[in-house]
Structure 1
Amino acid sequence: MDQDALVTERVEAGKRFLAQLSAVGFPIAVAFWARPSDEQWFLYLASPVVDEKGGHEAYRDLTLHERRFDNVGLDPFEVRLVSPSDTMAVAAAKLIEPKPWQPKPSPFMTRFDGSRLGGIDVEGVLVYPALASTVPGA
Protein backbone atom coordinates (compact mmCIF):
# COMPACT_ATOMS: atom_id res chain seq x y z
CA MET A 1 0.00 0.00 0.00
CA ASP A 2 1.20 3.51 -0.82
CA GLN A 3 2.62 5.03 2.37
CA ASP A 4 1.33 8.45 1.31
CA ALA A 5 -2.21 7.28 0.71
CA LEU A 6 -5.01 9.47 1.97
CA VAL A 7 -6.40 7.43 4.83
CA THR A 8 -9.72 7.59 6.62
CA GLU A 9 -8.11 9.09 9.74
CA ARG A 10 -6.86 12.12 7.79
CA VAL A 11 -10.22 12.60 6.06
CA GLU A 12 -11.97 12.43 9.44
CA ALA A 13 -9.42 14.81 10.99
CA GLY A 14 -10.16 17.27 8.18
CA LYS A 15 -13.88 16.93 8.82
CA ARG A 16 -13.38 17.67 12.54
CA PHE A 17 -11.15 20.65 11.71
CA LEU A 18 -13.74 22.07 9.31
CA ALA A 19 -16.49 21.67 11.91
CA GLN A 20 -14.40 23.52 14.48
CA LEU A 21 -13.53 26.29 12.02
CA SER A 22 -17.22 26.66 11.24
CA ALA A 23 -18.02 26.83 14.97
CA VAL A 24 -15.68 29.81 15.45
CA GLY A 25 -16.88 31.54 12.27
CA PHE A 26 -13.80 31.07 10.08
CA PRO A 27 -15.34 31.10 6.57
CA ILE A 28 -14.56 28.27 4.17
CA ALA A 29 -15.97 28.32 0.62
CA VAL A 30 -14.72 24.85 -0.34
CA ALA A 31 -12.43 22.30 1.29
CA PHE A 32 -10.70 19.38 -0.38
CA TRP A 33 -7.77 17.04 -0.16
CA ALA A 34 -5.56 17.02 -3.25
CA ARG A 35 -2.30 15.40 -4.14
CA PRO A 36 -0.53 17.49 -6.76
CA SER A 37 1.76 15.36 -8.90
CA ASP A 38 5.06 14.50 -7.20
CA GLU A 39 3.87 15.94 -3.86
CA GLN A 40 2.08 14.73 -0.76
CA TRP A 41 -1.61 15.08 0.08
CA PHE A 42 -2.67 18.54 1.26
CA LEU A 43 -5.92 19.80 2.74
CA TYR A 44 -6.86 22.86 0.71
CA LEU A 45 -9.12 25.41 2.40
CA ALA A 46 -10.52 28.13 0.14
CA SER A 47 -11.49 31.10 2.28
CA PRO A 48 -12.55 34.66 1.46
CA VAL A 49 -10.24 35.74 4.31
CA VAL A 50 -7.34 35.27 1.86
CA ASP A 51 -8.84 37.91 -0.45
CA GLU A 52 -9.90 40.22 2.39
CA LYS A 53 -6.70 40.21 4.44
CA GLY A 54 -4.06 38.72 2.17
CA GLY A 55 -2.40 35.34 2.43
CA HIS A 56 -0.09 36.11 5.34
CA GLU A 57 -2.81 37.53 7.61
CA ALA A 58 -5.23 34.78 6.62
CA TYR A 59 -2.69 32.13 7.61
CA ARG A 60 -2.14 33.96 10.89
CA ASP A 61 -5.87 33.90 11.60
CA LEU A 62 -6.04 30.21 10.70
CA THR A 63 -3.01 29.42 12.87
CA LEU A 64 -4.72 31.06 15.86
CA HIS A 65 -7.59 28.64 15.37
CA GLU A 66 -5.29 25.66 14.73
CA ARG A 67 -3.75 26.10 18.17
CA ARG A 68 -7.18 25.46 19.69
CA PHE A 69 -7.64 22.27 17.71
CA ASP A 70 -4.69 20.16 18.72
CA ASN A 71 -7.06 17.23 19.13
CA VAL A 72 -8.18 16.95 15.49
CA GLY A 73 -5.09 15.08 14.29
CA LEU A 74 -3.94 17.32 11.42
CA ASP A 75 -0.43 18.51 10.79
CA PRO A 76 -0.59 22.29 10.15
CA PHE A 77 1.98 21.83 7.38
CA GLU A 78 -0.47 19.73 5.37
CA VAL A 79 -3.02 22.57 5.22
CA ARG A 80 -2.93 25.03 2.31
CA LEU A 81 -5.08 28.14 2.60
CA VAL A 82 -6.09 29.58 -0.78
CA SER A 83 -8.45 32.15 -2.25
CA PRO A 84 -11.88 30.95 -3.42
CA SER A 85 -10.78 32.21 -6.86
CA ASP A 86 -7.76 29.86 -6.91
CA THR A 87 -8.09 27.67 -10.01
CA MET A 88 -8.07 24.43 -8.01
CA ALA A 89 -10.65 25.80 -5.56
CA VAL A 90 -12.94 26.90 -8.39
CA ALA A 91 -12.70 23.48 -10.04
CA ALA A 92 -13.31 21.70 -6.71
CA ALA A 93 -16.36 23.87 -6.01
CA LYS A 94 -17.78 22.98 -9.42
CA LEU A 95 -17.45 19.28 -8.59
CA ILE A 96 -19.90 19.65 -5.70
CA GLU A 97 -22.35 22.10 -7.28
CA PRO A 98 -25.94 20.86 -7.46
CA LYS A 99 -26.76 19.32 -10.85
CA PRO A 100 -30.09 19.26 -12.72
CA TRP A 101 -30.54 15.61 -11.74
CA GLN A 102 -29.46 16.34 -8.15
CA PRO A 103 -30.77 19.80 -7.22
CA LYS A 104 -29.57 19.63 -3.61
CA PRO A 105 -25.89 19.47 -2.69
CA SER A 106 -24.69 15.97 -1.93
CA PRO A 107 -24.00 15.27 1.75
CA PHE A 108 -21.19 12.91 0.71
CA MET A 109 -17.57 13.50 -0.22
CA THR A 110 -16.83 13.68 -3.94
CA ARG A 111 -13.88 11.82 -5.41
CA PHE A 112 -12.32 13.26 -8.57
CA ASP A 113 -10.40 10.73 -10.62
CA GLY A 114 -9.18 13.09 -13.32
CA SER A 115 -5.54 13.97 -13.80
CA ARG A 116 -5.91 17.79 -13.76
CA LEU A 117 -7.82 20.01 -11.36
CA GLY A 118 -7.96 23.67 -12.25
CA GLY A 119 -5.04 23.25 -14.63
CA ILE A 120 -2.86 21.55 -12.00
CA ASP A 121 -1.66 17.96 -12.45
CA VAL A 122 -3.04 15.88 -9.60
CA GLU A 123 -2.85 12.25 -8.57
CA GLY A 124 -6.02 12.39 -6.49
CA VAL A 125 -8.72 14.72 -5.16
CA LEU A 126 -11.41 14.30 -2.52
CA VAL A 127 -13.84 17.20 -1.96
CA TYR A 128 -15.79 17.67 1.25
CA PRO A 129 -19.56 18.27 0.91
CA ALA A 130 -20.73 21.84 0.31
CA LEU A 131 -19.72 24.17 3.10
CA ALA A 132 -21.54 27.29 1.86
CA SER A 133 -23.12 27.74 5.27
CA THR A 134 -19.69 28.65 6.68
CA VAL A 135 -19.36 31.62 4.35
CA PRO A 136 -21.24 34.67 5.67
CA GLY A 137 -24.01 35.71 3.32
CA ALA A 138 -23.89 32.46 1.35
Structure 2
Amino acid sequence: MASPVSLCVLGGAPAWPSLLQAARAQGIALAPTYGMTETASQVVTLSPPEFEAGQTGCGRVLPHAQIEIGEGGAVRVRSRSLAQGYLTISASGSESSSPLCASFEPFPQDTAGPYLPTDDLGFLTQQAISTSWVAAATKLLAAAKTSFPLR
Protein backbone atom coordinates (compact mmCIF):
# COMPACT_ATOMS: atom_id res chain seq x y z
CA MET A 1 0.00 0.00 0.00
CA ALA A 2 1.42 3.38 -1.00
CA SER A 3 1.54 6.10 1.60
CA PRO A 4 0.00 9.56 0.99
CA VAL A 5 3.23 10.97 2.47
CA SER A 6 5.72 11.64 -0.35
CA LEU A 7 8.81 11.92 1.89
CA CYS A 8 9.48 11.85 5.61
CA VAL A 9 12.86 13.11 6.85
CA LEU A 10 13.67 11.59 10.25
CA GLY A 11 16.38 12.87 12.58
CA GLY A 12 17.07 14.25 16.02
CA ALA A 13 18.02 10.89 17.52
CA PRO A 14 18.62 7.35 16.29
CA ALA A 15 15.32 5.75 15.25
CA TRP A 16 14.26 2.59 17.02
CA PRO A 17 13.99 -0.55 14.84
CA SER A 18 10.22 -1.03 15.27
CA LEU A 19 9.58 2.48 13.88
CA LEU A 20 11.76 1.76 10.85
CA GLN A 21 10.04 -1.60 10.26
CA ALA A 22 6.61 0.04 10.48
CA ALA A 23 7.63 2.76 8.01
CA ARG A 24 8.85 0.13 5.52
CA ALA A 25 5.65 -1.90 5.98
CA GLN A 26 3.50 1.19 5.33
CA GLY A 27 5.50 2.14 2.23
CA ILE A 28 6.62 5.46 3.71
CA ALA A 29 9.49 7.04 1.79
CA LEU A 30 11.76 7.62 4.79
CA ALA A 31 15.09 9.48 4.79
CA PRO A 32 16.90 9.01 8.13
CA THR A 33 19.38 11.83 8.78
CA TYR A 34 22.15 12.97 11.08
CA GLY A 35 22.73 16.62 11.87
CA MET A 36 22.03 19.30 14.41
CA THR A 37 21.17 22.97 14.75
CA GLU A 38 24.86 23.92 14.58
CA THR A 39 25.14 22.32 11.12
CA ALA A 40 21.95 23.96 9.76
CA SER A 41 20.16 20.62 9.98
CA GLN A 42 21.40 17.51 8.23
CA VAL A 43 24.91 16.62 7.10
CA VAL A 44 24.23 12.91 6.49
CA THR A 45 21.13 11.41 4.82
CA LEU A 46 20.00 7.93 3.80
CA SER A 47 17.97 8.13 0.57
CA PRO A 48 14.47 6.61 0.51
CA PRO A 49 15.50 3.91 -2.04
CA GLU A 50 18.43 2.91 0.22
CA PHE A 51 16.06 2.80 3.21
CA GLU A 52 13.49 0.73 1.29
CA ALA A 53 16.28 -1.68 0.25
CA GLY A 54 16.98 -2.37 3.93
CA GLN A 55 20.07 -0.24 4.51
CA THR A 56 20.48 1.03 8.06
CA GLY A 57 22.18 4.02 9.64
CA CYS A 58 21.88 7.63 8.61
CA GLY A 59 23.18 7.35 5.05
CA ARG A 60 25.80 9.21 3.07
CA VAL A 61 27.71 12.31 4.03
CA LEU A 62 26.20 15.16 2.00
CA PRO A 63 28.44 17.03 -0.49
CA HIS A 64 28.74 20.16 1.67
CA ALA A 65 29.97 18.27 4.75
CA GLN A 66 32.77 16.10 6.12
CA ILE A 67 32.50 13.68 9.03
CA GLU A 68 35.61 12.73 10.98
CA ILE A 69 35.72 9.89 13.49
CA GLY A 70 38.28 10.40 16.22
CA GLU A 71 39.54 8.36 19.13
CA GLY A 72 36.89 6.11 20.64
CA GLY A 73 34.43 6.93 17.85
CA ALA A 74 34.11 10.64 18.73
CA VAL A 75 32.35 12.46 15.88
CA ARG A 76 33.36 15.84 14.57
CA VAL A 77 31.71 17.68 11.73
CA ARG A 78 33.01 20.11 9.15
CA SER A 79 30.48 21.75 6.88
CA ARG A 80 29.90 24.80 4.72
CA SER A 81 26.70 25.20 6.75
CA LEU A 82 28.49 25.01 10.13
CA ALA A 83 27.74 27.79 12.62
CA GLN A 84 30.73 29.87 13.69
CA GLY A 85 30.40 29.08 17.40
CA TYR A 86 28.21 29.61 20.45
CA LEU A 87 26.87 32.92 21.75
CA THR A 88 26.24 33.07 25.50
CA ILE A 89 24.07 35.83 26.90
CA SER A 90 23.82 36.43 30.65
CA ALA A 91 22.97 39.19 33.10
CA SER A 92 26.02 41.09 34.30
CA GLY A 93 24.73 41.31 37.86
CA SER A 94 22.39 39.57 40.26
CA GLU A 95 19.47 41.96 39.68
CA SER A 96 16.99 41.32 36.90
CA SER A 97 17.45 44.92 35.70
CA SER A 98 21.20 44.41 35.14
CA PRO A 99 22.39 44.86 31.56
CA LEU A 100 23.01 41.74 29.52
CA CYS A 101 26.50 40.59 28.66
CA ALA A 102 27.30 38.51 25.62
CA SER A 103 30.31 36.37 24.91
CA PHE A 104 31.19 34.42 21.79
CA GLU A 105 33.04 31.12 21.81
CA PRO A 106 34.13 30.10 18.29
CA PHE A 107 34.33 26.45 17.34
CA PRO A 108 37.83 24.92 17.33
CA GLN A 109 39.90 25.30 14.17
CA ASP A 110 42.84 23.45 12.66
CA THR A 111 44.66 23.70 9.32
CA ALA A 112 41.58 22.35 7.51
CA GLY A 113 39.33 25.02 9.07
CA PRO A 114 36.67 25.10 11.78
CA TYR A 115 35.00 21.93 13.04
CA LEU A 116 32.36 20.96 15.59
CA PRO A 117 33.34 18.33 18.17
CA THR A 118 29.96 16.72 18.88
CA ASP A 119 28.92 14.67 21.90
CA ASP A 120 28.11 11.77 19.56
CA LEU A 121 29.85 8.48 18.88
CA GLY A 122 29.72 6.88 15.46
CA PHE A 123 31.44 4.88 12.78
CA LEU A 124 31.62 4.79 9.01
CA THR A 125 31.20 1.66 6.90
CA GLN A 126 31.29 1.02 3.17
CA GLN A 127 28.15 -0.57 1.71
CA ALA A 128 28.31 -0.83 -2.08
CA ILE A 129 29.06 2.71 -3.26
CA SER A 130 27.58 4.52 -0.29
CA THR A 131 29.05 5.45 3.06
CA SER A 132 26.67 4.55 5.86
CA TRP A 133 26.61 6.39 9.12
CA VAL A 134 25.44 5.37 12.58
CA ALA A 135 25.54 7.76 15.53
CA ALA A 136 24.29 7.64 19.08
CA ALA A 137 24.04 10.44 21.60
CA THR A 138 26.14 9.65 24.64
CA LYS A 139 25.70 12.71 26.82
CA LEU A 140 23.89 12.18 30.12
CA LEU A 141 22.55 15.20 32.02
CA ALA A 142 21.63 14.50 35.63
CA ALA A 143 21.48 16.78 38.67
CA ALA A 144 22.96 19.67 36.65
CA LYS A 145 26.04 17.58 35.86
CA THR A 146 27.06 16.39 32.39
CA SER A 147 28.71 13.00 32.06
CA PHE A 148 29.67 10.69 29.22
CA PRO A 149 29.16 7.15 30.55
CA LEU A 150 30.41 5.39 27.39
CA ARG A 151 33.74 7.23 27.22
Range of TM-score over shorter length: under 0.3
Structure 2-normalised TM-score?
0.24
Q: TM-score, normalised by structure 1?
A: 0.25
**Is the radius of gyration larger for structure 1 or structure 2?**
2
- Counting strand residues as a fraction of each chain, which structure ranks higher? 2
More helix by share: 1
* Greater relative contact order structure (CA < 8 Å, 6+ sep): 1
